[in-house]
């Protein structure tokens, strides 16, 4: 659903299964915020493409936090070299206990094999012009959660 010029929301509406709402921001560096569960990413990609947002144009994934319903499908985009941005506490959480957490949720932690952009200032802020120094805590759909980077 187009919200504004180069801003799209993909609201998860199923009452039978959990997934996150996802957002696409176009422009010079097209990005996806919270791509959702891996087994449901095809639904997101189909919706994006109906709106003219091509999967292969996405250059950055921003994950608000590392829970499977927000982060798991990051691996689909990352295979093509798309950068991933996480809060530093989330990156630490995933490295230290992510495998156990994902296992407890009945799934495997995504394998991301390129650098993760983490920090309060840096490439996300400079390339995308995001407010808050590139942090994701002020973005739509944010709710309080016990996950470390989810403030």
Please report, for the domain that includes residue 94, its CATH number: 3.60.15.10
Under a CB-based contact definition with an 8 Å cutoff, are residues 60 and 31 in contact? yes
Q: Is residue 104, in this structure, part of any structural domain at all?
A: yes
Q: Is residue 19, in this structure, part of any structural domain at all?
A: yes
Q: Is residue 65, in this structure, part of any structural domain at all?
A: yes
Average pLDDT, the chain: 79
Range of 11's domain?
2-134
Q: Which of 13-17, 78-82, 142-146 has the lowest mean pLDDT?
A: 142-146
Q: Is residue 147, in this structure, part of any structural domain at all?
A: no
Q: What is the pTM (predicted TM-score) of this model?
A: 0.75
Q: Is residue 148, in this structure, part of any structural domain at all?
A: no
Who's near 117: CB < 8 A, 6+ residues apart? 60, 83, 84, 85, 86, 123, 124, 134
Q: Is residue 145, in this structure, part of any structural domain at all?
A: no
The number of domains in the chain is 1
């Amino acid at each position: 659903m187009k919200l504004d010029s180069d801003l799209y929301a993909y609201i998860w509406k199923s009452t039978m299964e959990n997934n996150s709402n996802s957002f696409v921001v176009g422009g010079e560096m097209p990005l996806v915020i919270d791509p959702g569960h891996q087994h449901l990413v095809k639904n997101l990609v189909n919706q994006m493409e109906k709106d003219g947002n091509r999967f292969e144009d996405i250059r950055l994934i921003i994950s608000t936090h590392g829970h499977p319903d927000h982060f798991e499908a990051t691996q689909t985009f990352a295979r093509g070299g798309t950068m991933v941005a996480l809060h530093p506490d989330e990156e630490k959480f995933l490295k230290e206990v992510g495998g156990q957490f994902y296992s407890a949720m009945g799934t495997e932690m995504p394998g991301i094999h390129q650098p993760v952009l983490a920090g309060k200032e840096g490439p996300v802020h400079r390339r995308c012009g995001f407010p808050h120094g590139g942090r994701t805590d002020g973005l739509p759909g944010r709710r309080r959660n016990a996950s470390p980077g989810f403030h």
